[in-house]
Amino acid sequence: MDDAVRLAIAKWPNVPHCYGWLALDARGAFRMRDDATQAANLTGDVIRHPALLGFIFRNYGCDDRGAWFFQNGPQRVYVELEATPFIARTDPQLGFVTHDGEPMSKISKTYLTGDGRLLLQSDAKIAMLDDRDLAECLPRLTLNGMPCDDAALMVWLASSTSSDKLRLSLSDSSVNIERISSEQLEQRFGFVAHPSRLIKSV
């Protein structure tokens, strides 16, 4: 967190939190959502300004409820998540990086949802892979030690009781892939996708 932000929090500790105005989409783009956008249930405008994005990246965090936010000076701006708190992309030098450019250096676990979304876990950080990069990872899949084609992958996804081992090859190792339902993600990984619903339920 920026020092200026810490000072602002100390100076104005009771600024009301903001909900619904900021979102992170499934391709790692932060989006602004004004009142009209929220009322129409639209995704919002992509934030492209490099300095603003850098500020958001440096001050992005999670509260004790598992709700993610951007600390904008003294105000906490909660983030609506289309997928997971981080979105991963492939990188030719680093392997995988999250939407803020940070490398995912140690992939400890991987998961695949029923609709074919790949998730990567590095320590406590969980990130869904940008769907545009999924095709690049498919040749890295093995099933019981053999290359896995599309047909075999669909069979594996459809069979929740199969003991076949699906693995993802990394640069210097490989890791098992676990089936997971999209509906289980928030509970399994302890995050809140829609913080705005927290205030509506109070």
In a structure prediction context, what are the per-residue pLDDT tens digits for the chain, which is 202 residues long? 666 667 656 655 667 788 989 999 999 999 999 888 888 888 889 999 999 999 999 999 999 999 999 998 888 999 999 999 999 999 988 889 999 999 998 899 999 998 889 999 998 899 999 999 999 999 999 999 888 888 888 888 887 667 889 999 988 788 999 999 999 999 999 999 999 888 754 4
pTM of the model: 0.89
Q: What is the CATH architecture assignment of 3-83+190-200?
A: Roll (3.10)
76 three-state secondary structure: strand
- Residue listed under structure tokens 């999209």: 182
Q: E strands of 63-117, at which residues?
A: 68-72, 75-81, 86-91, 95-98, 109-113
- For 141, the enclosing helix (H) or strand (E) is strand 141-143
pLDDT one-digit tens code per residue, 169-181: 988 788 999 999 9
Q: How far apart are CA 46 and CA 43, in angstroms?
A: 9
Write down the H helix ranges in the chain: 3-11, 35-39, 50-58, 134-137, 150-158, 185-189, 196-200
The domain ranges of the chain are 3-83+190-200, 86-185
Phi, psi of 135 (to 5 degrees): -60, -30
